[in-house]
Amino acid sequence: MAFPPKSMADFGEFGKMFADMKLPAMPDMEAFVSASRRNMETLTAANRVALEGAQAVARRHMEIVQQSMAEMTEAVRAMSSMEAPQAKAAKQAELLKHAYERAVTNMKEISDLIQHSNAEAVKLLNNRFTEAMDEVKALADKSKG
């Protein structure tokens, strides 16, 4: 067929060509917009959960630092009042052991906070992904029928 068409009859042939083609059905735009909105809401919720988790970690970390500084100040004060070197050495060993145990406990607590926050955010995203795949399947089934 020549372009531009020479007569209106050529347009008829052009239309017939498209009528014979099997084009996929147009998606339900309302469903598409609604799904996109739910995707954005889920991403926003997951980001909020991650941000709240990061803030909780930062707050707890600051509390740990403050607690450690207070304990260290008290330890220095207690050590300065001792006179016998053996007593100081025993006290230092005790303080070191306590500090190590506290550090391990604090690291585990921070790790648990991060892990919980991440798991909650990923759960939101996974749930939305599953819903989105169900929606796509429903739209595909709808377009077949």
11-61 tens-digit pLDDT:
566 666 656 655 455 567 788 888 889 999 999 999 999 999 999 999 999
102 lies in some domain: yes
Distance from C-alpha of 136 to C-alpha of 142, rounded to nearest angstrom: 10
56 lies in some domain: yes
Instruction: Compute φ and ψ for 83, nearest 5 degrees.
Output: -110, -40
pLDDT reported for residue 109: 95
Instruction: Compute φ and ψ for 6, nearest 5 degrees.
Output: -85, -25
The two tokens of residue 23 are: 């084009």
**pLDDT surpassing 60 at residue 10:** no
Amino acid at the residue 97: K
Q: How many domains are there within the chain? A: 1
Looking at per-residue pLDDT, the higher value among 7 and 37 belongs to 37
**Which of 58, 50, 99 lies closest to 76, judged by CA?**
99
Distance from C-alpha of 117 to C-alpha of 119, rounded to nearest angstrom: 5
54 lies in some domain: yes
Amino acid at the residue 114: I
User: What residues make up the domain containing 57?
Assistant: 47-144
Distance from C-alpha of 87 to C-alpha of 69, rounded to nearest angstrom: 23
The two tokens of residue 136 are: 């796509």
78 lies in some domain: yes
Residues 6+ apart with CB under 8 A from 86: none
61 lies in some domain: yes
Mean pLDDT for all residues in the chain: 84
Q: How would you class 56 by CB atoms within 10 Å of its CB: exposed for 0-12, middle for 13-18, buried for 19 or more?
A: middle
**Which of 107, 138, 106, 142 lies closest to 35, judged by CA?**
138
29 lies in some domain: no
15 lies in some domain: no
58-77 tens-digit pLDDT: 999 999 999 999 988 988 88
pLDDT reported for residue 11: 58
